[in-house]
Structure 1
Amino acid sequence: MKLIDVLAAARFAGASDIHFKRGIPPIFRIDGALAPCPEAGRLSEAEMSAFIREVVPESKRNRFEEELELNTSFVRPKLGRFRVTLFRQRGEVGMIMRLIPNRIETLRDLNLPEVTEQIAMERRGLILITGATGSGKSTTLAAFLDHINTHRTCHIVTIEDPVEFTIREKRSLITQREVGVDTHAFPVALRQALRQDTDVIMVGEIRDRETMELVLQGAETGHLVLSTLHTTDAQETVHRVVSFFPAAQQEQIRLQLASVLKAIVAQRLIARLDGKGRLPAVEILIANEQIRELIRDPMRTSEIAQAIFNGHVSYGMQTFDQSIMNLLERKLIDEEEAMRYVRSTQDFSMRLKGIETADDENWSI
């Protein structure tokens, strides 16, 4: 089976990723589950080598031989764009290809709350999109940028490893820089972005303290900065940002984060009731004065989840449990799936049984 046939089959099946490993057929991830590529046989060593040569140019293969890890991108006419990861395991090369959607969906297309459109129109500060690997962070981030591109005249600079979605100019000027191709590292590109008459900076992922420091600096100096973290919810995100820094700096970082943070959008994907893929359950933190105080005070950061719950009516915030209840009430997911993902099963069950609580108004989204 040719590589082009595998990629076409993956697109047709709605796969999000393809795993290539010698000795087994290509494996698709579809709606979170793994399944072999139909009609594909076990990959031989020669086939693996041929696929890798087709996907990765020689210069990058040489870099892979030196570093033993590689992130890059691959574009095939009619089949679209793919994010490629090369790695070694048990002395052999493995490859994973992430399928990038052929179009950037809008925030509404993604079934995200209306408040996300307001968040996207912030002029300065920090917006963090968080979630586990495969939770749709890149897709949501692209939707935020598309909303800005559609509604603002500004200069957007993206720094990615690799570039995933290709963003076409609408009302904004777009500069997309790929680590390893257009720049040596995230921190180097970030420093330059602060000097390039930039309005909006998107950093694909915050991986280290230096990048985090520059992200905060960029937000502090009047830019709108968007980025992602591998954290499960808003409260954990605050802890993760602070934990990048040594103890002696953490008080100052809390003050800085409280000052520049605009919103945290945390998401996880849940199977749809109709069987047509997955949709996001979303926790949304809006940095009002109460949230800022909880960020500044390490003894009270654990109160963030309750503050989000209470802030729904006035600010449009929502916890995962509120989001999941909304999806359930709209008959988009079933009760069994909902109970797998909620944080407080007891409160959620009481609400499902119609038992009124003091927080009843906050459950309606």
Structure 2
Amino acid sequence: MELFKKICAAAVEAGASDIHIKVDAPVILRINRQLLPIECPLPTEEWIDDVLKHIVPVHARARFEEDREIDFSYHLPGVGRFRTNVYQQRGTFAIAMRYVKTKVPSFPELGLPEVIKRIAEAPRGIVLVAGTTGCGKSTTLAAMIEHINENFKKHIVTLEDPIEYVFEDNQSVIEQREIGLDTKAFATGLKHMLRQDPDIIMVGEMRDATSFTAAMSAADTGHLVLSTLHTTNAAQSVGRVLDFFKPEERDTIRRQLASTLKAVICQRMVNTVDGKMTPAVEILINTPTVKKLIEEDRLETLPAAIETGTEDGMQNFNQHLLQLVQAGRVTEKEALSKASNPQALEMNFRGIFLSTGHRILG
């Protein structure tokens, strides 16, 4: 265990976001998105098995034995907290760990648009933070909760698998529930959550129709529901939610979603000129226009609504990437690699803007 603790400490000191450990291979750190090996003895199968005996939580061991893979949060005193996934490959266990910073970053530190503060302050509705794995969804959610915690007297209940950021009560009262430790499953936790008198509910991830049905019910009764979703852009997120449901249910769900959705925030991580990273953010806000498009099943026109909705706080990826380039924070090459429409963005760099949004919306 001493070597394992030294690996974790070295990773944090080096500014790594992730640690990858497998049998008979170098230990790998991910630093600024680059995978880098470190000098240490190659992990053996026996060594990894011994580590797992110490770090897999007691409550999760039976599930781990059955499933052969598991997610949990591991805290190393004096070093930090890690979101940990253990899985098998080639018949032996491997470990992937993501370092979770103790302090919740602020909006300016994360480079998030100010409009997200306003979204976090909404009295009710569903707010989805979307994006691919590793794009900072959990950190953005944590920043929204901490903003509420610092400024409003609310009762916040979270449902996470596993718990990542640990919050301390400030203006708000916060309870964090972990799947497997504090409640059996997301469906069970969501079922009982409304009886716990929450003002705000945070669900670590929307995974199925049951989760989203419960979220819509909570939003319908005046709660703010925050959650994440795996999609590549904000407009696609609406269709992704509908995909949770059977075809014959989707018309009803779409109308419910049009009434309860507050906003979708979608992120892509971008390398900055100073060697760090910042999120490029696409924002969809459920304005009357957006609500009508969802109700009428005109989801293909949502990108146009985002493009033309800047006065309401909306923006697409190209618009935000252009701002980052103009501010000198991101190179044109990097922006083009993360753009939804690189050709249009390249024209924007030259001062040419061919917006079709107004024409599409009609």
- Do the two structures share a fold, i.e. TM-score over 0.5? yes
Pick one of 332, 337, 342 that aligns with 1:335. Answer: 332
Instruction: Give deviations 1:255-299, integer Å, cap 9, x for gaps.
Output: 011101111000010111111x2110000111101111111222x
Equivalents in 1 of 2:316, 2:187: separation in Å? Answer: 32
Equivalents in 1 of 2:264, 2:57: separation in Å? Answer: 37
Please state how far the C-alpha of 1:57 moved relative to its aligned partner.
Answer: 3.6
* Number of residue pairs the alignment of both structures matches: 356
Pick one of 302, 305, 311 that aligns with 1:304. Answer: 302
Instruction: Give deviations 1:179-225, integer Å, cap 9, x for gaps.
Output: 00000011111111111111000000111111111111111111100
1:14 maps to amino acid: G
TM-score (norm 1): 0.94
**Matched residue SS, 1:40:** coil
**Within the alignment, does 1:5 sit opposite 2:6 as a pair?**
yes
1:342 maps to amino acid: A
Equivalents in 1 of 2:355, 2:82: separation in Å? Answer: 49
Equivalents in 2 of 1:217, 1:260: separation in Å? Answer: 9
Please state how far the C-alpha of 1:62 moved relative to its aligned partner.
Answer: 3.4
2:204 maps to amino acid: G
Equivalents in 1 of 2:60, 2:180: separation in Å? Answer: 9
2:202 maps to amino acid: M
Please state how far the C-alpha of 1:61 moved relative to its aligned partner.
Answer: 3.0
> Do 1:85 and 1:96's aligned partners in 2 also have CA atoms closer than 8 Å?
yes
Equivalents in 2 of 1:322, 1:61: separation in Å? Answer: 47
Please state how far the C-alpha of 1:171 moved relative to its aligned partner.
Answer: 0.4
Equivalents in 1 of 2:52, 2:355: separation in Å? Answer: 59
Correspondence 1:315-354 to 2 at 5 A: 315-354=312-351
RMSD: 1.5
Deviates more, 1:171-180 or 1:345-354: 345-354
Deviates more, 1:338-347 or 1:256-265: 338-347
Task: Determine the structure 2 residue equivalent to 1:183.
Answer: 183
> Do 1:24 and 1:41's aligned partners in 2 also have CA atoms closer than 8 Å?
no
**Matched residue SS, 1:194:** helix
Please state how far the C-alpha of 1:344 moved relative to its aligned partner.
Answer: 1.8
2:296 maps to amino acid: D
Task: Determine the structure 2 residue equivalent to 1:31.
Answer: 32
Task: Determine the structure 1 residue equivalent to 2:68.
Answer: 68
Calculate percent identity across the aligned residue pairs. 42
Please state how far the C-alpha of 1:51 moved relative to its aligned partner.
Answer: 2.0
Equivalents in 2 of 1:350, 1:198: separation in Å? Answer: 48
Please state how far the C-alpha of 1:88 moved relative to its aligned partner.
Answer: 1.4
> Do 2:57 and 2:72's aligned partners in 1 also have CA atoms closer than 8 Å?
no
Task: Determine the structure 2 residue equivalent to 1:214.
Answer: 214
Equivalents in 2 of 1:61, 1:3: separation in Å? Answer: 20
Equivalents in 2 of 1:59, 1:224: separation in Å? Answer: 30
**Matched residue SS, 1:207:** coil
Uncovered stretches (5+) of structure 2, i.e. residues with no partner: 358-362
**Matched residue SS, 1:8:** helix
Please state how far the C-alpha of 1:101 moved relative to its aligned partner.
Answer: 0.8
TM-score (norm 2): 0.95
1:3 maps to amino acid: F
2:243 maps to amino acid: S
**Matched residue SS, 2:8:** helix
> Do 2:83 and 2:98's aligned partners in 1 also have CA atoms closer than 8 Å?
yes
Instruction: Give deviations 1:331-352, integer Å, cap 9, x for gaps.
Output: 1110110110112222212221
Equivalents in 2 of 1:254, 1:18: separation in Å? Answer: 41
Equivalents in 2 of 1:259, 1:57: separation in Å? Answer: 41
1:281 maps to amino acid: A
Equivalents in 1 of 2:304, 2:342: separation in Å? Answer: 15
Task: Determine the structure 1 residue equivalent to 2:111.
Answer: 111
Deviates more, 1:190-199 or 1:61-70: 61-70
